[in-house]
């Protein structure tokens, strides 16, 4: 007897319509992450000394508290990748949730700790961060 394969659920037309917007947002967030890493690297090197290799930078990104504030952005990009990689998992609800999470994350605050405070500092010291931020938020729907 032949084993039945599970039926693959196709994403809805509405979810498919959001895919280009979410893909653009994901790419812009990846660029923002890269710009933030470079900005934070320069700040780290001014304080702690030169990072000797790409491997050392990777280890610092993963393990050093200096760079820990970037982890929520990394996790958001991974969540977008997972949603976009499989047409079964991308739903209108998931796409809207990821855009909402992005809007909530990309808030800078001088008085805040964590991501918001570090993001504020990065925006203040590096114009490239401002441009990357602007490129990312253009993919977000206007708040209601």
pLDDT in tens, 33-47: 999 999 999 999 999
Q: Is residue 24 part of a domain?
A: yes
How many angstroms separate the first and last alpha carbons of the chain?
Answer: 54
Separation between Cα atoms, residue 134 and residue 136, nearest integer Å:
5
Q: Give the count of domains, the chain.
A: 1
Asked if residue 82 belongs to a domain, the reply is yes
**Residue 48 CB: number of other CB atoms within 10 A?**
11
Task: Identify whether the C-beta of residue 68 lies closer than 8 Å to the C-beta of residue 62.
Answer: no
Q: Is residue 58 part of a domain?
A: no
Which range marks the domain in which residue 21 is found? 14-47+65-137
How much of the chain exceeds pLDDT 90, in percent?
78
Q: Whole-structure pTM over 0.75, yes or no? A: yes
pLDDT bracket for residue 89 (50, 70, 90): confident
Give the residue from 40, 95, 28 showing the smallest Cα distance to 71: 40
pLDDT at 118 over 50: yes
pLDDT at 8 (0 to 100): 47
Neighbours of 66 (CB within 10 A): 16
- Number of Cβ within 10 Å of residue 90's Cβ equals 22
Could you give the count of Cα atoms lying within 13 Å of 112 in the half-sphere of its Cβ?
A: 14
């Amino acid at each position: 007897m032949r084993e039945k394969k599970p039926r693959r659920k196709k994403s809805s037309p509405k979810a498919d319509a959001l895919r280009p917007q979410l893909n653009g947002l994901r790419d812009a967030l990846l660029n923002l992450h890269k710009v933030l890493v470079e900005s934070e690297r320069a700040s780290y090197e001014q304080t702690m000394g030169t990072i000797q290799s790409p491997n050392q930078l990777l280890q610092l990104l993963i393990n050093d508290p200096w760079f820990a504030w970037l982890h929520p952005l990394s996790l958001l990009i991974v969540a977008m990748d997972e949603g976009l990689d499989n047409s079964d998992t991308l739903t209108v609800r998931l796409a809207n949730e990821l855009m909402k999470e992005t809007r909530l994350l990309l808030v800078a605050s001088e008085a805040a700790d964590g991501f918001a405070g570090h993001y504020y500092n990065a925006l203040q010291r590096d114009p490239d961060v401002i441009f990357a931020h602007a490129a990312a938020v253009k993919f977000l729907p206007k708040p209601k």
